[in-house]
Amino acid sequence: MINLVSRADELLESKAVQVVIGYEAGSTGKARPAFITDPSKTGSLIFDDRCVQNLAVYLTKKEVRYFGKAAIVATLPIMRSIMMLISEQQVFAENIVVLGVSAEGKYIDIAGIEVMQQYIATCDLGNPAKDQETLAMLNKMSTQQKFDFWQKELSKCIKCYACRQACPMCYCTRCAVECNQPQWIPVQSNLHGNTDWHILRAMHLAGRCISCGECGRACPVNIPCHLLTMHMADQVHNYFNVYAGTTDKMSSVMSTFEPNDKESFIQ
Amino acid sequence: MSEFEPKVVAFVCNWCTYAGADLTGTSRIRYASNVKIIRFPCTGRIDFMLLLKSFANGADGIIVSGCHPNDCHYTSGNFHAKRRWIMFKELMDFMGIDMNRITFSWVSAAEGARWAEVVNTTVARIRELGPYVSYKQMVNTAVEEEVTND
């Protein structure tokens, strides 16, 4: 990734940005996020198959904002996350430099939001193929089978909220799950509380999920919770013909409407 | 054991369905007494968590009803609600929570007879489906766990 490194170097050297958010090799053979502020250290930046984490989650974090302007290594899901964050006015376009990486791992020059928008428009925005298969398999099940499947999966949940912390779209400083007046979600990590939590999370991400699958990867007990939000993303496209994170001026799907929204279940 | 009497919770909007249900009463139309009506300012106010809460607290069925599209007192509350229910229904279907137990309907203030019909058909359907055992079991296991942990 000579281009990536030299570009990061150039940006830090010219003080165009104060921090570069990217990936570096971790101690256990995995890639970990890197926050590089010193131009001499950009050599540690890597990009390969191990670099799957959605780095956009750091853009809204106080500790990262403290650095100032940021350059961020961005694959398609990260670009889409950035688009959503700009749309929801959580970050400002002028404070971010995008170091694009294509699906093949090649550096792409993203000179601005318009270029990013054009690049996103050329990509397939559906869910990843292997998740699509699982979704199709689940959709074929009967109601009771689906209920049993999710109850079995959700019974493992320990309510660590890693799914929330890993998600770039879950940036609320006060999450509904922490509200206790009223107590929307039972606090305990029992089946009832777990189910309610995952329903709430999926509903709050409806129309905002950009199908990166980070929540499922972050889960320490391997609950495929990304399937819930990916299903919502699928349905949002199906009903409202919207893919999240395509422009920097997305209007929120769940707080807008079309008078002729199609449905068949309201009597 | 006595016959199963469904518990149905109805979330209705103040301006249309609540007034409609009022009309059912003043018109002396008889309908199933299994329904417990909760009045809301608008269908747009009805949070999906409230539906889950009613199931958790023992409801076997739910009715959500408000003004017909274009008749909302607040112009667009029911359109927002419609989008929310579309997504909610899809999620519930995906997670295997029985959507046959939830009736969504539009009932205006002039449709007293229609309200009686909506309630009667819902109650009849829930009676056929029986108590919502699987959801209650889920909640009960949770409560039992809590007790044993203490």
Residue range B18-34, pLDDT digits in tens: 999 999 999 999 999 99
Spell out which residues of chain B touch residue A251, defining contact as CB-CB under 8 Å: none
Distance between CA B114 and CA B103 in Å, rounded?
A: 13
Residues A33 and A145 occupy one common structural domain: no
- Cβ-based contacts under 8 A for chains A and B: 116
pTM of the predicted structure, to 2 decimals: 0.91
What is the b/e burial string over A37-51, where b = at least 16 CB atoms within 10 angstroms of the residue's CB? eebeebeebbbeeeb
- For residue B139, the chain A residues in CB contact (below 8 A) are 192
Q: What was the pLDDT predicted at B148?
A: 67
- pLDDT category at A172 given cuts 50, 70, 90 is very high
Both A62 and A163 in a single domain?
no
Q: Chain A residue with minimal CA distance to B104?
A: A266
The answer to whether residues A168 and A220 belong to one domain is yes
Q: How much is the pLDDT for B18?
A: 94
Given an 8 Å threshold on Cβ–Cβ distance, is A257 in contact with B98? no
Of A121, A145, A176, the domain-final residue: A121
- Domains of chain B, earliest start first: 8-149 (3.40.50)
* A35 and A64 Cβ atoms separated by less than 8 Å: yes
**Tally of CA atoms within 13 A in the half-sphere of A266 that contains its CB:** 23
Give the pair of three-digit tokens for residue A51.
Answer: 């670099």
Are A96 and A170 contained in the same domain? no
- Is there a contact between B142 and A188 if contact means CB atoms under 8 Å apart? yes
CB A198 within 8 A of CB A192: no
* Residues A6 and A115 grouped into a single domain: yes
Nearest to A203 among B88, B103, B118 (CB): B88
Same domain, A232 and A171: yes
- Strand, coil or helix: A190: coil
Q: Are residues A51 and A101 in the same domain?
A: yes
Answer whether residue B58 shows pLDDT above 80: yes
Residue A126: both structure tokens together: 């559906």
Q: A133 and A88 share a domain? A: no
Distance from the Cα of A260 to chain B's closest Cα (Å) equals 9
* Model pLDDT for residues A60-86, shown as the tens digit of each residue: 999 999 999 999 999 999 999 999 999
What tokens appear for A90 in the block? 């959580």
Q: Do A143 and B93 touch (CB under 8 A)?
A: yes
Q: Do A169 and A152 have their domain in common?
A: yes
Q: Classify residue A166: in a domain, yes or no.
A: yes
pLDDT score, position B33: 92
Which residues in B lie closer than 8 A to residue A260 (C-beta atoms)?
none
A266 touches chain B (CB under 8 A): yes
Using the 3D structure, point to which of A82, A104, A121 is the last residue of a domain: A121
pLDDT digits (tens, 9 = 90+) for A237-263: 999 999 999 999 888 888 888 888 888
Q: Residue A266 falls within a domain, yes or no?
A: no
Cβ within 8 Å of residue B68, ≥6 positions away: B16, B78, B106, B108
Domain end point (choices A121, A146, A170) = A121
Q: Does A232 touch chain B (CB under 8 A)?
A: yes
How many folded domains does chain A comprise? Answer: 2
Question: Do residue A115 and residue A134 come from a single domain?
Answer: no
Q: What percent of chain A has pLDDT over 70?
A: 100
Min Cα distance A252 → chain B (Å) is 11
Angle (deg, nearest 10), helices A113-121 and A76-87: 120
pLDDT in tens, B98-143: 889 999 999 999 999 999 999 999 999 999 998 988 888 888 877 7
DSSP string, A97-141: EEEEE-TTS-EEE--SHHHHHHHHHTS--S--HHHHHHHHHHHHS
Band (pLDDT 50/70/90 cuts) for residue B144 is confident
Same domain, A29 and A87: yes
Q: State percent of chain A over pLDDT 90.
A: 64
Query: Do A42 and A63 fall within a single domain?
Result: yes
> Distance, in angstroms, between A53 CA and closest chain B CA?
26
The pLDDT of residue B149: 63
Domain that holds residue A40: 2-121
Q: Render pLDDT for A83-136 as a digit per residue (tens, 0 to 9).
A: 999 999 999 999 999 999 988 888 888 888 999 999 999 998 989 899 999 999
Question: Do residue A263 and residue B86 have CB atoms under 8 angstroms apart?
Answer: yes
**A261 within a domain of the structure (yes/no):** no
